[in-house]
Structure 1
Amino acid sequence: MGTTPSHRRLRSGGLAALKTLLDLPEETRAGWEIVLFEQRRSVGGVWLPDPPGAPTGPPELPETPLYPLLHVNTPHPTMTYPNFTFPPGTALFPGWAALQQYHEDFAVHYNLTPYIRLNHTVVSANWHSHPPEGDWHVEVHTHLGGAEDEYVLRRTFDHLIVANGHNHFPCVPAWNGTEEWLANTPLGRPQREILHSIYYREPQKYAGQNVVIVGAGASGRDIALQVSPLARVAYQSISDDKDTTPGARVIRKPRISHFTPDAIVFADGTTLSDIDTVLLGTGYENRVPFLSAPHASTLHTDPAPTVNSSTARALTNNLHYIFPLHKHIFSLAPELPPTALAFVGLPVLIANCPSDNAQGMLIAHALANASLLPPREDMLAELLAREDSLRGRGYDPYLIGHRLLDGDTEAQDYQDALVEFLKKRGVLPDDGKKYVEPWRRTARPASMLLARAWKRVEALGEQSRWLEGVQTEDEWADLMARMADWQREWEEEHGEAAVALDFHVE
């Protein structure tokens, strides 16, 4: 595969991957056709709200899990693409609308929109091998408005970059007895419900109800904070190693064991018989439908596979972990050339925009010159070593999946390693600096402290004073450092519990 092909077609996913492809020198991508198919009406991913009038209840899956009270859970400067800040005056922990606008602004600023096809759903992508290479046969359905605007598009591409996100396919635990419990609503009470957080929108719906909130992740904690003040009684069902949500008015319960027609039975044998609604903050399954059966055969989806990264002949997905992949990006399945298929955004517990950008840079340069990547056997050996390292630390890599651990350290080191690899290969200048700036490494672990600080700033009405004149990355970094020091000094005297948060921060 040459570095300057006469014609190369790329189906790109994600704004970061698109930008990094377009950042390549024009002579490198001469003859390339690059297109990004976006299923929704605009960019922004989960930050783009439901379309007007769209159903948000079962059995249909909503387009987004976004709820109106959603705020970011880390300071926005730590979430940005490099060298592209939020507008001056943006609250340090803004609501969802600022995030959606940020992604739209990014696409416009870097002139990405001519390459984006909105309202285009990729239905299937099948690899056709004709050695030494091959191509993707991709089927796309358009939905531009009226029935006359709907049609099927079939295209071939040399490379496929997948960036379809994490938060679309709910993980719903299978408990015995749920149907009987749901069918046995007591007289005079609201119809019983078991609802995943993807359908959650307004806490007012649960006013006066008895509610069980399952989970202690970001969604479970947000729901606990929002619903518990309005509910008659709110319980939070969590595992023994988790804490209930700070600031939420909840009663702790262990994991749910099963349901009877009259009650919810918990792992410790206790029961609750007066519950109206069970809200599930139980996360999402990692699915890529257009690569999987019945639409395609590239990605074998099996919740309990009998293969692992060293034995899999096809790319495999156990709903937690897609394997084997190099650096969470390139397929190492023997049936595909390593640069035929790449993923952007699989890592979890990481700042997505800077991480996606680092991944995009590696992808762009590898597509321009596949010889940049190590031999497949070396990449596989590196993957197996990482999995062994996780086992040595007490983790099952096939359950941990693409989560990056050790607080924020592994996430930052991961991004640095991607860019450092390109510097060592000579395709990026070695400026002697890490990709992740020191201020990002400092600010993300301080998210809780900064959230308490910002809450106090809002209570004092001092937002304008703090935000005045702050525009550049360095100025945002300085603001966060000053605010963290200000809050630490205050908490030394008053204690951190004096500031209550009404949204969850990770």
Structure 2
Amino acid sequence: MMGTKLQVAVIGGGAAGLCAARHLLSRGDRFAPPVVYEVSDSVGGTWIYTDSVGTDRHGLPVHSSMYRNLRTNLPKEVMAFPGFPFGPHLPSFIHHSDVRRYLEEYAQHYGIGEHIKLFTEYPLPISSSSTRSRSRTLKEEDQKSYHPEEVAIKSFTYIIIRNRHYSDPYIPNVPGMEYFQGQVMHSHEYRTPESFTGKRVVLLGAGPSGIDIALELSQVAQEVILSHSRPPIASPLPGNVIQAPGVDRLSEASVLFQDGTERRADAFILCTGYNYSFPFLAEEVGLKVEGGVVSPLYKYVVHTRFTSLCFIGLCKAVCPFPHFNCQVLFSLAVLDGSCPLPPERELNAATAEELRARLESGFPARHFHKLDSLQWDYNNELAQLGRFEPLSPILKELYENCKAIRGRDLINYKSYNYKISSGSSREWSLLCPQ
């Protein structure tokens, strides 16, 4: 009966939100067609590139961290949603515009578009009852600033949330930064390298963004200093890229590092990651972010008290689209009752035990949501709990192979191409650059 179908709201029209909508639409026996709320004017989430920083032409906050020349640091062969591959004509490491086009094609293929409310702010506030969520939509004729119009109050039984955790930059307290006379920015605002031509640039942080931006800037800058507290990067680097320890403090025209060395600098770029932020949740929901740990969540997904709230995509260092797919299918199994959950106290105890184990193995709490090679067992566990087909083992093989090549050849690894052949067993080959 139509009246018994579960009503689900999906917050966010990025990759995770589109994945949730696709699977909700495929489960018409249990779920009513979803409503997808997207605050911007198009789908794609973080894969929507814009030259703007701060706010866009509509006066909306710019959530994307894409820069003009960005190419993926994972091959397309491990990035695709199961059953919906990227085009065979594309190289393995693709431009961000190809990913956005892929997401648009995914939405069109599965008929998601008619269920998306563009220019519609997240329902505010989402309360513990997960109902009576007020939505606001941007008037079409208002193209200059964001003045949302209240249009409806709609009740939902369940809510799936895709949090944009690459949109709220983490700005550490660096002594002396307020006195530095050069340019200071976060990687969230980085778009193009030309303005750094001939300059001395210091980047704080050697994660994926820090390394990628350093390599791009090396082509135009006089000197690029990559400051970080990790073990030294083993891969050869361009001659004008220098590794340095963490930053102790800044002066008007230079950066002093923790080993006592000092370098003149024209620009200081913070590649320091992002905060988890949930401004659309009512305080009574009780979601907390402490030391980089989001709680109380079971399996990084389900709110342990209000199990009608599911969060997709909080984990880091994963194959994002296949990972989203597993989390969505697990969420639907929880929401429709086919994956019954134990009592709240047991859910919290399981999460606490996982955090304890991670800490004892040497992971700092701030990396609790960083999975990397742990993602494979995690995804398989979700598949077992949700009773759906696990990801192909070939994804693990390609991911780990790519990670190994990237570790020893940062300059050239995006020139490699992978080829997957299908037969009685799945096989792959690596095409090396000439």
Q: How would you bin the TM-score normalised by the shorter chain?
A: 0.7 to 0.9
Compared CA separation, residues 321 and 473, structure 1 to 2 (3 A):
farther
Whether the aligned pair in 2 keeps the contact of 1:136 and 1:160 (CA below 8 Å) is no
**Whole-angstrom distance in 1 between the partners of 2:214 and 2:358:** 32
Task: Tell me the secondary structure at the aligned position of residue 390 of structure 1.
Answer: helix
- Residue 30 of structure 2 is matched in structure 1 by 28
- The amino acid of 1:256's aligned partner reads V
- Residue 307 of structure 1 is matched in structure 2 by none
- Residue 178 of structure 1 is matched in structure 2 by 177
- Residue 107 of structure 1 is matched in structure 2 by 107
- The amino acid of 1:172's aligned partner reads I
**Pairing 1:337-486 to 2, within 5 Å after superposition:** 338=307, 340-369=308-337, 372-396=340-364, 398-404=365-371, 407-408=372-373, 410-423=374-387, 428=388, 435-448=390-403, 478=427, 481-483=428-430
- The amino acid of 2:399's aligned partner reads R
When the two structures are superposed, what TM-score results if normalisation uses the length of structure 2?
0.87
Whether the aligned pair in 2 keeps the contact of 1:121 and 1:140 (CA below 8 Å) is yes
Whether the aligned pair in 1 keeps the contact of 2:73 and 2:414 (CA below 8 Å) is no
Whether the aligned pair in 2 keeps the contact of 1:92 and 1:454 (CA below 8 Å) is no
- Residue 95 of structure 1 is matched in structure 2 by 95
Structure 1 stretch displaced more, 8-17 or 79-88: 8-17
- Residue 226 of structure 1 is matched in structure 2 by 216
Compared CA separation, residues 473 and 201, structure 1 to 2 (3 A):
farther
**Whole-angstrom distance in 2 between the partners of 1:385 and 1:259:** 41
1:269 pairs, out of 260, 263, 270, with 260
- The amino acid of 2:261's aligned partner reads T
Summarize deviations over 1:131-165 as a string: whole Å, max 9, x none.
xxx33342333235432984124433222211023
- Residue 329 of structure 1 is matched in structure 2 by 301
Whether the aligned pair in 2 keeps the contact of 1:17 and 1:363 (CA below 8 Å) is no
Task: Tell me the secondary structure at the aligned position of residue 482 of structure 1.
Answer: strand
**Whole-angstrom distance in 1 between the partners of 2:161 and 2:191:** 28
**Whole-angstrom distance in 2 between the partners of 1:56 and 1:454:** 31
- Residue 201 of structure 1 is matched in structure 2 by 191
**Whole-angstrom distance in 1 between the partners of 2:273 and 2:378:** 23
- The amino acid of 1:28's aligned partner reads R
Compared CA separation, residues 475 and 252, structure 1 to 2 (3 A):
farther
Whether the aligned pair in 2 keeps the contact of 1:126 and 1:136 (CA below 8 Å) is yes
Give 1:27 deviation, angstroms: 3.0
Compared CA separation, residues 124 and 90, structure 1 to 2 (3 A):
same
Task: Tell me the secondary structure at the aligned position of residue 87 of structure 2.
Answer: coil
Compared CA separation, residues 319 and 46, structure 1 to 2 (3 A):
farther
Q: Could you tell me which runs of 5 or more consecutive residues in structure 2 were left unpaired when the two chains were aligned.
A: 12-16
- The amino acid of 1:421's aligned partner reads L
**Whole-angstrom distance in 1 between the partners of 2:410 and 2:424:** 17
- The amino acid of 2:329's aligned partner reads M
Alpha-carbon RMSD: 3.2
Task: Tell me the secondary structure at the aligned position of residue 381 of structure 2.
Answer: helix
- Residue 80 of structure 1 is matched in structure 2 by 80
**Whole-angstrom distance in 2 between the partners of 1:49 and 1:258:** 33
Give 1:390 deviation, angstroms: 1.1
**Whole-angstrom distance in 2 between the partners of 1:22 and 1:42:** 20
Whether the aligned pair in 2 keeps the contact of 1:193 and 1:276 (CA below 8 Å) is yes
Whether the aligned pair in 1 keeps the contact of 2:40 and 2:60 (CA below 8 Å) is no
Structure 1 stretch displaced more, 232-241 or 135-144: 135-144
Whether the aligned pair in 1 keeps the contact of 2:333 and 2:339 (CA below 8 Å) is no
Summarize deviations over 1:284-333 as a string: whole Å, max 9, x none.
11111111xxxx3145xxxxxxxxxxxxxx32112622111111011114
Q: Could you tell me which runs of 5 or more consecutive residues in structure 1 were left unpaired when the two chains were aligned.
A: 129-133, 183-191, 300-313, 429-433, 488-498, 501-506
Compared CA separation, residues 151 and 375, structure 1 to 2 (3 A):
same
**Whole-angstrom distance in 2 between the partners of 1:361 and 1:458:** 34
**Pairing 1:292-307 to 2, within 5 Å after superposition:** 296-298=282-284
Whether the aligned pair in 2 keeps the contact of 1:123 and 1:289 (CA below 8 Å) is no
- Residue 249 of structure 2 is matched in structure 1 by 258
- Residue 168 of structure 1 is matched in structure 2 by 167
**Whole-angstrom distance in 1 between the partners of 2:377 and 2:292:** 22
Give 1:371 deviation, angstroms: 6.6
- Residue 504 of structure 1 is matched in structure 2 by none
Compared CA separation, residues 475 and 251, structure 1 to 2 (3 A):
farther
Whether the aligned pair in 2 keeps the contact of 1:11 and 1:34 (CA below 8 Å) is yes
Whether the aligned pair in 2 keeps the contact of 1:4 and 1:368 (CA below 8 Å) is no
**Whole-angstrom distance in 2 between the partners of 1:140 and 1:319:** 31
Whether the aligned pair in 2 keeps the contact of 1:75 and 1:450 (CA below 8 Å) is no
When the two structures are superposed, what TM-score results if normalisation uses the length of structure 1?
0.75
Which is greater in Rg?
Answer: 1
1:243 pairs, out of 233, 237, 257, with 233
Compared CA separation, residues 39 and 365, structure 1 to 2 (3 A):
same
**Whole-angstrom distance in 1 between the partners of 2:426 and 2:279:** 40
Give 1:387 deviation, angstroms: 1.4
**Whole-angstrom distance in 1 between the partners of 2:179 and 2:401:** 46
Compared CA separation, residues 176 and 236, structure 1 to 2 (3 A):
same
Whether the aligned pair in 2 keeps the contact of 1:172 and 1:282 (CA below 8 Å) is yes
- Residue 211 of structure 1 is matched in structure 2 by 201
Whether the aligned pair in 2 keeps the contact of 1:83 and 1:473 (CA below 8 Å) is no
**Whole-angstrom distance in 2 between the partners of 1:267 and 1:368:** 54
Compared CA separation, residues 117 and 4, structure 1 to 2 (3 A):
closer
Compared CA separation, residues 216 and 457, structure 1 to 2 (3 A):
closer
Structure 1 stretch displaced more, 143-152 or 76-85: 143-152
Whether the aligned pair in 1 keeps the contact of 2:205 and 2:228 (CA below 8 Å) is yes
Whether the aligned pair in 2 keeps the contact of 1:57 and 1:199 (CA below 8 Å) is no
